[in-house]
Structure 1
């Protein structure tokens, strides 16, 4: 079982607290190149570091690069936590299978990639006045290469932390599955509170982020691995960077389209939670023959005999 794999290493909960702190510190260090570049470009004007100016000081491609590279640096923090605090490897928080199932990654990627791309194109055809055609071949080619390489690193780090590391950590603490599912979903959603989307659309948009975290957590527990979530998250962010962005989103890249509509939270904001995610559940459950939903999502964590004996 996925959460029980944590017992292959050291599972004292204080290790997860310190590990999370290490990851956060290293990830923060990863943001220093962006801050330094902004200061250098602005003549070391501290006002340039304000949220409303930070994303407008540098070239969009350069800004995107610095944002994404910070996650690559953040991987160092995760590696330190796994190797030196828990004495496990990355595969332990990735999957229960003998090796990563790339077909599962591809399925997760394809589902969100196809649905989201089609929905964006339909929206563009129906309401072209809400978009600006921004395709610039030279800049887009740079963005495309950069995104293909770095976006999967960014999204994989988030999945390894939330659906892997913290899912196992809270599971070890609570000895059940529902608590880590709820906690990782809440933390994942609330950490988006600093995103410019929240400032523009209000706190109610956090429901979408928490719901997405819940969806990713459920498919991880049901499938006994993070592969589907890895593919899903990578496709979602790739489309967000390459196909359509806006001046109020976390990524403001040289995408094909720029959304200029005034954003607001309406009933259709939550359509993915109500319609698309259940469809994804049905497809994945059919393909991989998921069973025992109640046990896998709310059941107890069985501590291995060796671990119980060691604690005694």
Structure 2
């Protein structure tokens, strides 16, 4: 099982405590230094008075996008270092229970959300054209595409390896079950979006969407015994979203094809994905990969193997 593979590594609680601190410092401190330095060069000491949204608006859109995602890339490198050298675990074992990473699953997860996002955006655009502006400019868009194709998968992979990999396995081993890591990682994942401008604009109800998305990705990981579907799904959601549509009140304001100029509202647009669309995604994945034994895979116990071994190579 995916969580049980952590027993092949060093799983003492203090290693996870130190690991989280190291990753957080790399991500939020060292990884953010280039972004803060660039903003400081533009604003000087005034940087201390700016909100997060105002800071990002100081810089050219593509530069701000790149530097913001750079912090996640630094966090991912630190996380891989912690997994490999603090826990002596193979990166493959933090990714999947299969003998090797199934890239077909990554592509399937990517495709299912990418197609859904493109189709629903086109439908929305045709039904409510007054709510959108044609935002496409060739050169800025091509620069954005180059940045996004490289940096967005690093950003989403960092979040997946942190929550659905490192913490899912660590909490599963420490708690001895699967439901605790599923719930805890989903709530923490959603809570980290509290500082997104969407929360200020739409209110705390949007946390239903963020925590619900965490649950979706966690269920994918536990049912499929690996992170491949979640890795692809998360990357597809953020990459297509960054390239296709932007708005003044979103976390990523990009040189995308379209700009949503409608007045956002918190209601069915938030609840429908979680209550209807996400279960449909899970149904399609369950049929494709023949998932079964849902109760045990989501709520069963995680038992310590009789024999343990530490991974010797990455």
Whole-angstrom distance in 2 between the partners of 1:273 and 1:75: 28
Aligned to 1:217: 218
Deviation, 1:44, is 4.3
Q: Does 1:17 pair with 2:14?
A: no
Question: Greater relative contact order: 1 or 2 (C-alpha under 8 angstroms, separation 6 or more)?
Answer: 2
Q: Does 1:40 pair with 2:44?
A: no
Whole-angstrom distance in 2 between the partners of 1:270 and 1:141: 34
Q: Which moved more, 1:132-141 or 1:84-93?
A: 84-93
Question: What pairs up with 1:195-214 in 2 under 5 angstroms?
Answer: 195-214=196-215
Whole-angstrom distance in 2 between the partners of 1:139 and 1:47: 29
Aligned to 1:150: 151
Question: What pairs up with 1:173-184 in 2 under 5 angstroms?
Answer: 173-184=174-185
**Structure 1 length as normaliser, TM-score?**
0.96
Aligned to 1:64: 65
Deviation, 1:101, is 0.4
Deviation, 1:42, is 2.1
8 Å contact from structure 1 (residues 48, 57) kept in 2: no
Deviation, 1:45, is 2.5
8 Å contact from structure 2 (residues 76, 157) kept in 1: no
- Give 4+ residue runs of structure 1 displaced > 4 Å after superposition: none
Deviation, 1:261, is 1.2
Deviation, 1:237, is 0.2
8 Å contact from structure 1 (residues 105, 227) kept in 2: yes
Aligned to 1:114: 115
Question: What pairs up with 1:1-312 in 2 under 5 angstroms?
Answer: 1-28=1-28, 29-47=30-48, 49-307=50-308
Secondary structure in 2 aligned to 1:249?
coil
Deviation, 1:209, is 0.4
Deviation, 1:76, is 2.4
Whole-angstrom distance in 2 between the partners of 1:205 and 1:15: 33
Secondary structure in 1 aligned to 2:133?
strand
**Structure 2 length as normaliser, TM-score?**
0.95
Show CA shifts across 1:206-260 (max 9, x none): 0110001001000100000000000100010012210011111110110111111
Gaps of 5+ in 1: none
Aligned to 2:312: none
8 Å contact from structure 1 (residues 176, 299) kept in 2: yes
Q: Which moved more, 1:35-44 or 1:232-241?
A: 35-44
Show CA shifts across 1:8-47 (max 9, x none): 1111122112111111100011011111101102244225
How well do the aligned residues superpose, as a CA RMSD in angstroms?
1.3
Deviation, 1:50, is 2.1
Gaps of 5+ in 2: 310-314
Secondary structure in 2 aligned to 1:305?
coil
8 Å contact from structure 1 (residues 201, 265) kept in 2: yes
Whole-angstrom distance in 2 between the partners of 1:123 and 1:299: 41
State the number of aligned residues: 308
Deviation, 1:78, is 0.4
Deviation, 1:128, is 1.3
Secondary structure in 2 aligned to 1:193?
coil
Whole-angstrom distance in 2 between the partners of 1:56 and 1:48: 14
Whole-angstrom distance in 2 between the partners of 1:233 and 1:94: 14
